[in-house]
Amino acid sequence: MIVVGVPKESYPGERRVAIVPASIPNLLKAGCKVLVEAGAGMEAGYPDSTYSEKGAELVPKRADVFGAADLVVQVLCHGANDMTGREDLPLMRAGQTVVGFVRALGSPETVSELAATGVNTLALELMPRITRSQSMDALSAMATVCGYKAVVIAADHLPRFFPMLTTAAGTITPARVLVLGAGVAGLQAIATARRLGAVASAYDVRPAVKEQVQSVGGRFVEMPLDVGEAQDSRGYAREQGESFLKRQRELLARVVAESDVVITTATVPGRRAPMLVTAEMVASMAPGSVIVDLAAERGGNCELTHRNELAIEQGVTIAGYFNLANTVPYHASQMFSRNVTAFLLHLFKDGAINLDVGDEITRETLVTRGREVVHGPVRELLSLPRETARKDTP
């Protein structure tokens, strides 16, 4: 029997929980025993009683969860939790498996610390973008939440209506929303802005996303730029050179100046976010305009973004909040739980945890095993020889 442990998230202010009560029966059916730290789901809207009703066993202390669990599942593991994650290291033991967001490419040194404990670590943010893994893609699920919430924040701070209104006092023109980056978060932002009645436009360095932007009601902004190989094999935008970014900013300047709201979502895995909106571009926007920078945690797409703060610069409100998924904890937890449960069931075979590196999903998410860092790109970041990264691959 596999014992799955669900500790309460320890990152300050984190309200999500890794497994919600509705997922417990699926894990029990697979032959698991589920231990949940008391109070783990309370702030997300899932009281302890709802876990007990579904068959989970409540334990009073975090150490009890780690001490008994074969597999520990968290939203923010050490690495993604850069505040209190290190406190979990003494609770881990060799052979134990840890699953959650790790920020392996952004904080590779923490992966070495996880490896030193002997745990097997699987980083959900590295889930490959293939058809088989869609139900396990927690990163995209959280990006959906962030895209939605970014528009809600913008609408709250914009001193204008989003929709067009025809009233006895005259006609109100709709707000103009520009989304930079048409990934999962960007597409959700476009769709949400349209539902609120705004006119939504989007720009992305990847021409291939034009149809996706149009499918959710947005207008795709096209620019005379040579994008070359704009995306990698995983569907993410490739990092561009400074000369390209400079020309891109020049072309974006007019579009930004005409927008009431700019939502930026452009990131490159393991890299600093590209700077797309300069201070001069911010100054060109009308007073009261709003920028929501979803890349703030990775350095920000806007030059004037204040990390994890709301600021007013040159009359423009700029929101640089981190972790917006945490502000919608009930549904964010529900989505994460469905994704991670699907992933766990993929890993379980004949009543054991099967870390088969011949399987693409397992191989691409596995970052530590047997006290070694085994993920090729992470090894490169740590200056370890890549050729040994998959030595146990069939």
Active site residues: 129, 134, 137, 140, 236
Rounded to whole angstroms, the Cα distance separating 127 from 282 reads 35
Q: Other CB atoms closer than 10 Å to residue 392's CB: what's the count? A: 13
Nearby residues of 168 by Cβ (< 8 Å), 6 or more positions away: none
Strand-by-strand arrangement of the 32-37 sheet? 57-59, 32-37, 2-6, 71-76, 97-101, 120-123, 366-369, 372-373
| Nearest Cα to Cα of residue 157 among 13, 311, 345 | 311
Q: Provide the b/e sequence for 129-159 (b: ≥16 CB within 10 Å).
A: eeeebeebbbbbbbbbbbbbbbbbbbbebbe
